[in-house]
């Protein structure tokens, strides 16, 4: 009788545990559920302050043809209430904005029922069909409605000359490097309809534009050529009459640059830009006194990174900054650069802001550790942020790993920070497998907010018993100009030692199993994964290399950003120091490789061309190192298509689970 009870009780316990375990699995993020998460993008405050418009990225359904996510248009009342979809998939929008009277939301879209090319449309706040506002013969690339609501300025490429068009029709469409046929210029059309007119008559290629507050002039950022490398490195801000003519350069700048904005009274023009040609990021706030033609850098050695700004009034700006692993909002005096923090010591990670006309409220996209970007309402007087959209209710009941900012010392004593995600159910004193997730750029940073996506599986790994570390190594943003320049000319030198020091720090704290450490990332993070799997292979049991670099010499000669690669990253051209560039190439150290490496790459990647994946894979295969290469058709520097994102996430998750083997994982879990 006792034996029967024992078996009965044991069976019940086993079944109960199985049900409990199955329930936990059902509550875990999966590759498909991660890709299906909806994310708020652009957020715009209605000038009157009653509504917030925002875009929502929504994945395609499984039965749809391959393609990227849709971008829907939603509106939510600022005082609370249900959000409403104005434009839903399969339609998509971009560049949303409010008309000055707050009665209409404008956007760019391709709506073939109206026009075959991408145009500017508007949809009334009170509902109804979208109306077409431009009828450009070619795609509209950017636009802005004048502050007085009378005119739409937009970007459009020139038409091909008859000679070039005829040659292309006959098949003579060869590309001669360094030459081009057409550029983009600004055009303008009355908001109420009518004939468009050419605004910029100069030879410069325009990338983006904005109106001056008086609606009489247009500020635009432009360069000599229409190449992506020159967009990054060789542009200036210009000013042109709205009536048209030759643009006038506002100030001769060097290096990376953002679009300028004029103060409400026209006395100042401000922009975010680089302090030098080799500055990795346009993170410093410059303010030009237009009456005195006097320029001041209001950032200096401030240990943060400027991300975006708006004019609060004629004397002050509101600047969003990255500070370590947090985002902050500062009020900055245009006259002397004096700073006052409004938000940011804690709370959600927010982005660019847009203000109400009375300058009391603002709208922004913000995220936390347990949800991606949502629409938020900010109150400048109360210094608060309140969530207004709730796009992913399926996340509410999931368990997420505890997340915090950690700090350690680099090899030379430099303070390095990062974001640590502990496994769900973390117990102090227990050692866990570790995945080091390295951000790209390197001019970027991981913040203490939502850090999960198809290319960063952080909370999915935490739910499966794996600890995750995001190191903001030297060369990252968030700590000022000097820190961002800290890795120049020393790629994978002290910056990688910073990462190793972070691993050692967690080991010293008794938190990780040093024999179960993996590393992965995309772009520069993929380069880091290749470096970990070769030069430092003895430290890593698994690596995932996504659109990463294996040979810095061949990459430097094939990328579409050769100037940025040389000037910003290396602080010199590879041809002048081939030995160093080869030494910092993972292929140089291939004989050390023993780390199982998953390599994934887009077939049409121009930033880090596909040869980088094949060079790494062929070398690993030659030395019989466990490796796999996956090439995604139609994809560039990162995956757009739903199926490709799911596949990438699935393979990476399986690869990590197979080699990190967290305690309690089973073969069925590893198979996923």
Confidence of residue 669 (pLDDT cuts 50, 70, 90): very low
Report CA dihedral (237, 288, 482, 527) to the nearest 10 degrees: -20
CA gap 518, 540 in Å, rounded: 5
Secondary structure E strands in 65-174: 70-77, 84-87, 94-98, 104-109, 119-124, 131-132, 140-145, 151-157
pTM equals 0.93
Are 627 and 619 in contact, with CB atoms under 8 Å apart?
Answer: no
Give the pLDDT score at 364: 98
Q: Is the peptide bond before 442 cis (omega within 30 degrees of 0)?
A: yes
C-beta of residue 236 within 8 angstroms of C-beta of residue 249: yes
Neighbouring CB atoms inside 10 A of 2's CB total: 6
Nearest to 220 by CA among 197, 195, 201: 201
Count the residues in the chain: 672
pLDDT above 90 coverage of the chain, percent: 93
Task: pLDDT band for 464, please (50, 70, 90 cuts).
Answer: very high
Do residues 569 and 551 lie in contact, with contact meaning Cβ atoms separated by under 8 Å?
A: no
- Cα–Cα dist 491/581, whole Å: 9
**pLDDT tier for residue 536 given thresholds of 50, 70 and 90:** very high
Question: Which residues contact residue 25 at a Cβ distance below 8 angstroms, ignoring those fewer than 6 apart?
Answer: 669
pLDDT beyond 50 at 6 = no
What crossing angle do the helices spanning 494-508 and 524-534 adopt, rounded to 10°?
70
Q: Which residue has the tokens 């999966």?
A: 30
- Whether the Cβ atoms of residue 235 and residue 254 lie closer than 8 Å to each other: no
Strands 627-632 and 597-602: parallel
Task: Determine the CATH number of domain 399-666.
Answer: 3.40.50.1820
Residues 6+ apart with CB under 8 A from 247: 200, 202, 204, 220, 222, 238, 239, 240
Q: Where are the domains of the chain?
A: 399-666
Q: What is the C-alpha separation between 195 and 176, in angstroms, rounded?
A: 36
Question: Would you state the pLDDT for residue 111?
Answer: 84
Mean pLDDT on 68-96 = 96
Judged by DSSP in three states, 433 sits in strand
- For residue 235, give every residue at least 6 positions away whose Cβ sits within 8 Å of its Cβ, in sequence order, or none: 207, 221, 222, 223, 257
Q: What is the largest CA-CA distance in the chain?
A: 99
Residue 7 has pLDDT above 70, yes or no: no
Rounded to an integer, what distance in angstroms lies between the CA atom of residue 611 and that of residue 614? 5
Burial call 327-362: b when 16+ CB within 10 Å, e when fewer: bbbbbbebeebebeebbbeebbbbbbbbbbeeeebb
Closest CA to 306 of 265, 274, 267, 261: 274
Alpha carbons 261 and 658: distance in angstroms, whole number: 52
Q: How confident is the model at residue 80 (pLDDT cuts 50, 70, 90)?
A: confident
The per-residue pLDDT for range 371-419, each reduced to its tens digit, is: 999 999 999 999 999 999 999 999 999 999 999 999 999 999 999 999 9
Tens-digit pLDDT profile for residues 209-257: 999 999 999 999 999 999 999 999 999 999 999 999 999 999 999 999 9
CA distances to 79, 261, 446, 547, 615 from 469, rounded to whole Å, are 38, 38, 10, 20, 28
The answer, yes or no, to whether residue 635 has pLDDT greater than 70, is yes
Residue 13 has pLDDT above 80, yes or no: no
Sign of CA dihedral 608, 609, 611, 613: positive
**Residue 664 has what pLDDT?**
57
């Amino acid at each position: 009788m006792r034996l029967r009870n024992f078996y009965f009780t044991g069976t019940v316990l086993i079944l109960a545990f199985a049900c409990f375990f199955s329930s936990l699995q059902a509550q875990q993020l999966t590759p498909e559920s991660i890709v299906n998460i909806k994310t708020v993008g652009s957020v715009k405050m209605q000038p009157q302050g009653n509504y917030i418009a925002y875009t929502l990225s929504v994945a395609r359904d499984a039965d749809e043809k391959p393609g990227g996510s849709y971008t829907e248009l939603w509106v939510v009342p600022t005082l609370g209430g249900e959000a409403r979809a104005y434009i839903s998939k399969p339609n998509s929008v971009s560049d949303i904005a409010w008309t000055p009277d707050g009665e209409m939301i404008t956007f760019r879209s391709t709506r073939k029922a109206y026009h075959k090319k991408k145009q500017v449309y508007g949809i009334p706040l009170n509902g109804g069909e979208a109306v077409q506002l431009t009828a450009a013969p070619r795609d509209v690339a950017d636009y802005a409605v004048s502050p007085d609501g009378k005119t739409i300025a937009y970007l459009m490429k020139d038409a091909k000359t008859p000679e070039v068009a005829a040659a292309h029709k006959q098949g003579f469409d060869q590309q001669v490097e360094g030459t081009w046929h057409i550029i983009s210029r600004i055009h303008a059309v009355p908001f109420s309809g009518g004939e468009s007119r050419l605004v910029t008559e100069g030879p410069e290629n325009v990338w983006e534009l904005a109106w001056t507050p008086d609606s009489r002039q247009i500020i635009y950022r432009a360069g000599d050529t229409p190449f992506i490398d020159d967009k990054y490195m060789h542009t200036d801000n210009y000013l042109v009459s709205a009536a048209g003519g030759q643009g006038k350069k506002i100030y001769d700048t060097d290096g990376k640059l953002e679009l300028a904005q004029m103060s409400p009274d026209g006395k100042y023009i401000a922009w975010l830009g680089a302090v030098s040609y080799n500055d990795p990021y346009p993170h410093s706030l410059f303010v030009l006194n237009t009456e005195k033609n006097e320029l001041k850098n209001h950032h200096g050695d401030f240990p943060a990174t400027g991300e975006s700004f708006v004019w609060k009034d004629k004397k002050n700006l509101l600047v969003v900054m990255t500070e370590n692993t947090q985002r902050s909002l500062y009020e900055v005096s245009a006259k002397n650069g004096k700073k006052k923090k409004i938000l940011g010591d804690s709370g959600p990670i927010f982005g660019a802001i847009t203000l109400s006309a009375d300058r009391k409220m603002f709208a922004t996209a913000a995220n936390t550790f347990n949800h991606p970007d949502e629409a938020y309402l900010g109150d400048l007087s109360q210094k608060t942020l309140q969530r207004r959209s709730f796009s992913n209710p399926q996340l509410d009941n999931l368990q997420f790993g505890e997340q915090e900012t950690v700090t350690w010392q680099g090899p030379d004593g430099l303070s390095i920070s990062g974001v640590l995600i502990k496994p769900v159910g973390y117990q102090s004193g227990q050692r866990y497998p570790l995945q080091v997730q390295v951000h790209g750029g390197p001019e970027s940073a991981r913040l203490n907010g939502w850090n999960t996506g198809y290319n960063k599986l952080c909370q999915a790994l935490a739910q499966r018993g794996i600890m995750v570390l995001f190191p903001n190594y030297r060369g990252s943003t968030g700590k000022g100009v000097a820190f961002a320049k800290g890795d120049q000319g020393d790629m994978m030198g002290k910056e990688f030692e910073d990462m190793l020091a972070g691993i050692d720090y967690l080991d010293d704290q008794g938190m990780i199993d040093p024999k179960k450490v993996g590393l992965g990332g995309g772009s520069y993070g993929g380069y880091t994964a290749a470096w970990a799997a070769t030069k430092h292979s003895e430290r890593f049991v698994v690596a995932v290399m996504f659109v990463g670099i294996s040979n810095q010499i061949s990459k430097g000669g094939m990328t579409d950003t050769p100037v940025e690669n040389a000037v910003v990253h290396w602080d010199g051209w590879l041809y002048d120091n081939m030995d160093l560039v080869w030494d910092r190439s993972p292929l140089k150290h291939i004989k050390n490789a023993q780390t199982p490496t998953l390599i994934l790459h887009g077939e049409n990647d121009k930033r880090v061309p596909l040869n980088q994946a094949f060079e790494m894979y062929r070398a690993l295969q030659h030395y019989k190192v466990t490796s796999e290469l996956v090439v995604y058709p139609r994809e560039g520097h990162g995956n757009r298509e739903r199926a490709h994102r799911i596949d990438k996430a699935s393979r990476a998750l399986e690869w990590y689970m197979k080699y990190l083997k967290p305690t309690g994982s089973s073969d069925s879990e590893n198979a996923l």
